[in-house]
Amino acid sequence: MLLIDTNHPMYRPLWVRLLIVGVCAGWAVLEFVNNEPFWMTVVGGIALYAAYVLLFTFKPAEPKPEEPAVRSEQD
C-alpha cells in the first residue's frame, strides 16, 4: 500500500522531496531534544517512510504530452 502518491507532479523536483524528508527528520530531532520518545518514534517513522518512498524507490512518471491549444476566432 502506497501512502504517498508519487505520480503527483509536486514530487518531481528533488528539492521538494528532500525538503519533506528533512522537515520530518528535523521534527523527530526536535522531539528527541524535548524528551518526547513517543512522538520522536512516530515522526521518525514518518521520516524513514518518506525517505524510502521519495528518495530510494522514487520513479517519476512520464510527463503527458500537452495538446496544442485550439483558438476560436470570434468576430
Digit-coded pLDDT (tens) for 16-64: 999 999 999 999 999 999 999 999 999 999 999 999 999 998 887 676 7
9 to each of 13, 17, 24, 74, how far by Cα in Å? 8, 11, 20, 35
The span from the CA of 61 to the CA of 26, in Å, is: 29
The helix/strand/coil state of 61 is coil
More confident residue, 57 or 1: 57
Q: Residue for cell digits 518518506?
A: 50
pLDDT at 9 (0 to 100): 86
* Single pTM value for the model: 0.76
More confident residue, 2 or 35: 35
pLDDT at 46 (0 to 100): 95
Q: Residues 25, 46, 49, CA angle at the centre, nearest 5°?
A: 105
